[in-house]
């Protein structure tokens, strides 16, 4: 396992960092992408603004300059903004689509030859909100994650049989700081398993998909059953 190489985007913070550290603990060589918070303790740390039009190509070039193979690409970098309809203009919509949907697509395109050579896989970090169920007050974000979920399926078809493409859809994992205690209790009450998840729960799902040779085109909910309610918020 020590010779397997993973590139994890958004590895400087939150869920992305947990995924990167779990893979490293399992013996993967991890290239950790970041935008502002440089992570420590990985084989390489690669800075890029993936929301920029040339960001994915720059990250792919930086990765290829340091590593000769790629077994796993985890697209975890994302932006999460609560935007009611009245506050959603073209720029606000584009900012979420650019990072949450366009960047993963372009990064997969740039790195597909390396992934195919290694018979590797892609895991996209989606979200129950948008990816699986609608979310009131988060239309732009939900649309970007719904797009990523469908891209996951399309890319699974296009890149088979040499590359598998799957997704994980976390639910409540890390509370936004703006959520008051009452809102947190109300949301937790709608989770059948009775608790919020942890970044490590998401990392465990990514590790499973990375080692599941007969799974592709799947989006795995990691939400304690919250998607069964039919809505995210």
d(CA 200, CA 179): 21
Residues forming beta bridges with residue 121, ordered by sequence position: 72, 164
d(CA 177, CA 123): 27
The runs of H, that is alpha helices, within 77-190 are 90-97, 103-117, 128-131, 139-159, 181-189
C-alpha radius of gyration, the chain, whole number: 17
Rounded to the nearest 5 percent, the helix, strand and coil shares of the chain are: 45, 15, 40
Name the token pair of 81. 């903004």
Catalytic status, residue 141: yes
d(CA 220, CA 216): 11
Catalytic position from the list 138, 141, 179, 208: 141
d(CA 43, CA 128): 31
Residues forming beta bridges with residue 47, ordered by sequence position: 34
Residues with Cβ within 8 Å of residue 181, at least 6 apart in sequence: none
- φ/ψ of residue 133, rounded to 5: -140, 160
Name the token pair of 53. 């039009």
Catalytic annotation, residues: 141
């Amino acid at each position: 396992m020590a010779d397997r190489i993973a590139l994890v985007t958004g590895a400087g913070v939150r869920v992305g960092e947990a995924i990167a550290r779990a893979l490293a603990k399992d013996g993967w060589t991890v290239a950790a992408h970041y935008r502002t918070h440089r992570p420590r303790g990985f084989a390489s740390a690669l800075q890029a603004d993936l929301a920029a039009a040339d960001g994915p190509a720059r990250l792919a070039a930086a990765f290829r300059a340091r590593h000769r193979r790629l077994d796993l690409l985890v697209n975890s970098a994302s932006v999460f903004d609560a935007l009611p309809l009245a506050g959603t203009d073209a720029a606000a919509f584009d900012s979420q689509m650019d990072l949450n949907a366009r960047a993963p697509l372009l990064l997969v395109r740039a790195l597909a030859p390396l992934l195919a050579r290694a018979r590797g896989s892609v895991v996209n970090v989606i979200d129950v909100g948008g990816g699986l169920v609608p979310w009131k007050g988060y239309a732009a974000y939900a649309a970007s994650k719904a797009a990523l979920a469908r891209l996951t399926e399309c890319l699974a078809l296009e890149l088979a049989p040499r590359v598998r493409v799957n997704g994980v859809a976390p639910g409540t994992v890390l509370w936004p700081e703006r959520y008051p205690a009452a809102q947190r209790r109300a949301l937790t009450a709608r989770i059948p398993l009775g608790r919020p998840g942890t970044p490590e729960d998401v990392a465990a799902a990514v590790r499973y998909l990375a080692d599941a040779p007969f799974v592709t085109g799947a989006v795995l909910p990691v939400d304690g059953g919250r998607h069964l309610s039919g809505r995210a918020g």
